[in-house]
């Protein structure tokens, strides 16, 4: 499973000569996006290789020189004018999506643009950096994705750093994000087999990071960061929040709490202690989203149903109950055994004690075994979604059951920030 990759190169660029501690003290602003959690935990110097002094013009020139020296032909250093040209000046007609950090536009490069660059569609992310924090995430993305190559990680083709502009150029993923497929009404429903394939692919991406020469913690695993190619192969994108794992005898890294509501592990939210098991927790949440077709956090639902974990937990341990919360868009067409195993796996992943969560390698094994279940035909048509039953086909009895259950209190974030 381990993909061969080049030995990890510490990033020791001249522009990064300021020690993390000093520089991080300047970060007065957290990520201004839906990914933000809190500004309460003091920023700690955990990413020393990625510090930088300022955003002045001379510094952006230095950054370019350093990146070019570090990555050579592996990454293309694009000019802003080139990226403007291939996206028709970042026109809304070419808009692929928008995150908390800016817009993503489709573009086309041709082989004449750069030597060795093949003609292809690309996705250009235009970061609205508005300060050092955005620059830091841009740099983290370049450094992580510039070095890590794996079939389940999106390929970074190049970057642009001009004055205060920061852009990233990725391979284009024709089927967009898992989020769009699962939750956007316009999209076709994903069949059970495809959901399983996506979960397995994404798990392989995370396992690769956790087992890399130097452990990498992804920290922002969620459906919008799982992109799909034309065959629904899953690839992880967005490494702006990724962190190097603990070294030596350390069990965790301590960091400012950042991530996305509904996906972050409770111990990380409350203590800032980050481990690979934090990613496993987020993976469990995404498994629940694949099963139920519901968002990790959905403020448009009644209060008791807004937090997917709290709402779904009482249904996860029996097939009979589970079918009440299965995504109605599956139309009952799924393997009963497979969904039950996946629900149990999700439950393990979201264990409150990180030690009780499985490793990504074990998760892959479980998910791959599910592909052999052939009980689809038995399920087909047996439990049609009734119009009378509630959202997701939850019968009134099911709701009563969930009301009676003891729920864990949700993570201590400020709901106004979502
Ligand atoms: N390489 C790509 N190919 C095709 N579409 C992409 C690509 N990268 C991003 N997108 C689209 O752009 C959207 C926005 O992505 P972006 O990473 O900026 O934000 P996000 O993941 O939705 O939110 P957040 O800012 O919280 O991470 C994605 O959901 C996806 O639909
Ligand atoms: Mg994203």
Ligand nearest to the CA of 104: 1
- Is 123 close to ligand 1, i.e. is its CB under 6 Å away? yes
Burial class (CB in 10 A: 0-12, 13-18, 19+), 47: buried
Best probe residue, ligand 1, of 133, 134, 237, 258 (max atoms within 8 Å of C-beta)? 237
Q: Which residue numbers belong to the known binding site for ATP? A: 125
Kindly report the number of other CB atoms within 10 A of residue 200's CB atom. Answer: 19
Look at the alpha carbons of 209, 210, 211, 214 in this order and tell me if their dihedral is positive or negative. Answer: positive
Cα 219 to middle of ligand 1, angstroms: 16
* Binding region: 125
Whole-angstrom distance, CA of residue 102 vs CA of residue 100: 6
pLDDT of 405: 24
In this structure, the residue with its CA closest to atom 4 of ligand 1 is 173
Quote the pLDDT of residue 131.
58
Closest residue by CA, ligand 1 atom 22: 99
Is 130 within 8 Å of 101 (Cβ atoms)?
no
| 96 alpha carbon – ligand 2 mean position (Å) | 12
Q: What is the pLDDT of residues 37-55, one digit of tens each?
A: 433 322 322 333 433 333 4
> Which residue reads 């490494």 in tokens?
239
Q: What is the pTM of this model?
A: 0.80
Q: Relative to the alpha carbon of 241, which ligand is closest?
A: 1
The atom of ligand 1 lying closest to the CA of 174 is 4
Mean pLDDT by 10 residues, the chain (418 residues): 42 31 23 38 32 47 80 87 95 91 92 90 89 79 92 96 92 96 87 97 98 93 97 95 83 81 93 95 98 97 97 95 95 94 98 98 97 68 42 38 25 30
34 lines ligand 1 (CB under 6 A): yes
Q: Is 220 a catalytic residue?
A: yes
């Amino acid at each position: 499973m381990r993909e061969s990759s080049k030995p990890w190169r510490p990033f020791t660029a001249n522009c990064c000569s300021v020690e993390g501690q000093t520089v991080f003290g300047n970060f007065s602003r957290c990520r201004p996006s839906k990914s933000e959690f809190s500004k309460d935990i003091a920023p700690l110097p955990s990413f020393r290789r990625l510090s930088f002094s300022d955003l002045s013009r001379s510094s952006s020139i230095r950054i370019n020189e350093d990146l070019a020296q570090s990555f050579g032909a592996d990454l293309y250093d694009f000019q802003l004018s080139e990226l403007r040209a291939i996206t028709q000046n970042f026109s809304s007609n070419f808009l692929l999506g928008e995150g908390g950090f800016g817009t993503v536009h489709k573009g086309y490069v041709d082989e004449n643009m750069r030597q060795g660059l093949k003609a292809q569609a690309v996705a250009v992310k235009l970061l609205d950096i508005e300060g050092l924090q955005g620059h830091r995430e841009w740099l983290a993305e370049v450094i992580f994705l510039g070095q890590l190559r794996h079939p389940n990680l999106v390929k970074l083709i190049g970057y642009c750093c001009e004055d205060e502009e920061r852009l990233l150029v990725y391979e284009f993923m024709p089927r967009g994000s898992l989020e769009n497929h699962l939750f956007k009404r316009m999209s076709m429903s994903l069949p059970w087999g495809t959901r399983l394939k996506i979960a397995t692919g994404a798990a392989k991406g995370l396992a690769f990071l956790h087992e890399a020469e130097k452990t990498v913690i992804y920290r922002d695993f969620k459906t919008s960061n799982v992109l799909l190619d034309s065959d629904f192969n899953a690839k992880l994108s967005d490494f702006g929040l990724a962190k190097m794992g603990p070294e030596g005898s350390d069990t965790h890294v301590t960091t400012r709490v950042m991530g996305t509501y509904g996906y972050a592990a409770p111990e990380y939210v409350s203590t800032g202690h980050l481990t690979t098991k934090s990613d496993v927790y987020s993976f469990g949440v995404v498994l629940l989203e694949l099963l139920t077709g519901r968002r990790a956090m959905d403020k448009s639902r009644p209060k008791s149903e807004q937090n997917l974990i709290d709402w779904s937990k009482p249904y996860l341990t029996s097939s009979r109950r589970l079918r009440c919360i299965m995504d109605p868009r599956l139309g009952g067409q799924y393997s009963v055994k497979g969904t039950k195993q996946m629900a149990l796996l999700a439950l393990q992943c979201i264990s409150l004690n990180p030690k009780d969560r499985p490793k990504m390698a074990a998760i892959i094994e479980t998910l791959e075994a599910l592909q052999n279940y052939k009980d689809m035909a038995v399920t087909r048509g047996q439990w049609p979604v009734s119009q009378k039953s509630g959202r997701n086909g939850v019968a009134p009895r099911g709701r009563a059951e969930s009301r009676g259950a003891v729920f864990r209190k949700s993570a201590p974030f400020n709901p106004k920030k979502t």
